[in-house]
Chain A
Amino acid sequence: MSTLERLRLEMDRTLRPQGERPSYSTRMTRRIFLHRSLALGAASAATYGFFPLLNVLDVAFAADGQAFKFAWLSDTHLYPKDVNTRFVDKTVRAVQEVQAMNPPADFLIFGGDLAQLGDPVELRLGAELLKELKIKKVFIPGEHDWYLDMGKTWNEMFGQSPWKLDHKGVRFLGLDTVSHAEDFWTGRKMSPKERMGHMATLDGTLGGAWAAVGPEQIKWLNDALADWPKDKPVVVFSHNPLYEYYPPWNFWVRDWQAVHEVLKPFSNVTNIHGHTHQVLYNEIGKVRSIGMLATSWPWPYAPEGVPILTRPMVRADPGDHFDGVGWSALALTAQARVDNEYRMWRKDVFATAAVDSGTGDNGNQILSPRIADRI
């Protein structure tokens, strides 16, 4: 057993009293789902069924809870239009599909990394594309939105995080997990663009373990939950996952254990996160985490640390830039269930064989951190 696996088990034992499970069991189910692909058109869309990744969570839903849907969109990584139109095309497609949800989503959560390099031109382009969506929108930032001007434009355009939103018996919390990088730029006399460049490189060295909730926000989280009944649903949105998956790529927040201490009394917590650009599922204690797809491109699974509860997505075809990406439609149902449907723009979402998964197939892969950016 690896050190990470041991740590995870230890945290799970610490946070979850013996014999307890999350108040609702989590099952991964298969359901035939007709892919309503805008690209294929309505006529061909009904010709095949496929197994979407559907996390069915049996929720001990509050008595006053009502059924509703919401949508997650993130990691659009928009460049200015003259550099790249394919990311624009995919954002437009996702926005159109969210707008076409029937019944409609109550709101959209945008989970960060709207821009690629934090450029106001990119952020304005994102705002323009999202304007087509007529439903309520809430936002949390990604590191790509932040490090050109340290969140100034982002906060002006999309509002500050953290925030809380009570909606139909559920407390939604939006966190900022991106603004806590240690200052590597001042001493090196870097320009804002250079700083952004390092932060925008997933496998960069200088950014270090930048993903964090931070002491102030952990206190805020504690206060934001102080008046909330322990058995009522809580959904926490974060750009980075709230557990340790793969720190070198910031597939975590460095203070995840402190976050889980705050969430520990609550029996019904779902963390929904972006950043990892891949199908992910994990449980720690009573908290479940669901990783969302990007619209821009899929990241490979990290060489280690993929939660064993994750059923991996199929390998994407690099020749098709609409492959392996998409968005998520989520529903909280009055029948005490939370559904997450990945709307991935392809026929098969799950890998059915290890050779097609990009995780089980990588046993021979031994990787080293990059070297040319250690300046």
Chain B
Amino acid sequence: MTTRKRLSLTAGGCVLLAGAVATNQGLAHKAEHTPEQLQAFHGVFMDQVKTGDLLFHGDAATEKRLGVKLSATGMACAMCHPYASDTHPYEFPKFQEQMNEFATLRDMINWCIEKPNEGEKIDPNGEAMKALEAYIYWSNRNARLDPGRH
């Protein structure tokens, strides 16, 4: 293949890609967001935060609804992490000493559930995990990202 032909194919690919992006953007942003839309997006987020808050504080009804068992000792996450303190979500991913591996926040959440709390690990992509993650991030919002920090 000549250099000219390779350039031509690359250019064609770029045009196709740009077209696809433009189409997607068009679908996602037909018009400017209305206050109602923004409120709805925020509502979805805060619902997750509230669910996570309840799970984090050992609410039995929320655990039952989501089919998870986060603790077998009576301990809830918040008993060691009031206001989700010392969870340091902004430091992940990082090497996590207890696990002896490179870990995400979701890995750490599952470690805490399984080890200190003696509960049952949860689906890393499930509803309970997303809610716990939302609550922990929300509680620590405005901290600066500092991934990898021990």
Contact = CB atoms under 8 A, between A and B. Distances in A.
- Note whether A and B form a binding pair: yes
B84 to A, nearest CB: 7
A319 interface: yes
Nearest to A364: B143
Counting chain A CB atoms within 10 Å of each CB, which of B46, B74, B115, B138 scores highest? B74
Contacts of B74: 79, 83-84, 116
A335 interface: no
B98 A362 contact: no
Interface in B78-137: 78-86, 88, 90, 98, 112, 115-116
B73 interface: yes
B75 A369 contact: no
B57 A300 contact: no
B140 A358 contact: no
A352 interface: no
A203 B82 contact: yes
B140 A365 contact: yes
Interface stretch (B3-11, B19-27, B35-43, B47-55): B47-55
B83 A368 contact: yes
A372 B115 contact: no
Interface in A347-375: 355, 358, 362, 364-373
Q: How large is the interface on B (under 10, 10 to 19, 20 to 34, 35 or more residues)?
A: 35 or more
Nearest to B88: A365
B84 A318 contact: no
Interface string A128-142: 000000000000000
B141 A358 contact: no
Given A79-B74, A84-B73, A86-B73, A372 B150 contact: no
A79 B58 CA distance: 15
Contacts of A116: 74
A366 B142 contact: yes
B144 interface: yes
Given A300-B82, A319-B116, A362-B86, A372 B144 contact: no
Interface string A179-223: 000000000000000000000011100000000000000000000
Nearest to A320: B116
Interface in A283-316: 297-300, 302-303
A302 B85 CA distance: 8
Given A79-B74, A303-B85, A372 B140 contact: no
A13 to B, nearest CB: 32
B80 A297 contact: yes
23 contacts: A86-B73, A116-B74, A201-B78, A203-B82, A297-B75, A297-B80, A298-B80, A300-B86, A303-B83, A317-B98, A319-B115, A319-B116, A362-B85, A364-B144, A365-B85, A365-B86, A365-B88, A366-B142, A370-B78, A371-B49, A371-B53, A372-B50, A373-B57
Interface of B: 46, 49-51, 53-54, 57, 59, 73-75, 78-86, 88, 90, 98, 112, 115-116, 138-144, 146, 150
Given A372-B50, A372-B57, 12 more contacts: A79-B74, A83-B73, A202-B78, A203-B83, A297-B75, A297-B80, A303-B83, A319-B98, A355-B150, A367-B140, A370-B53, A370-B139
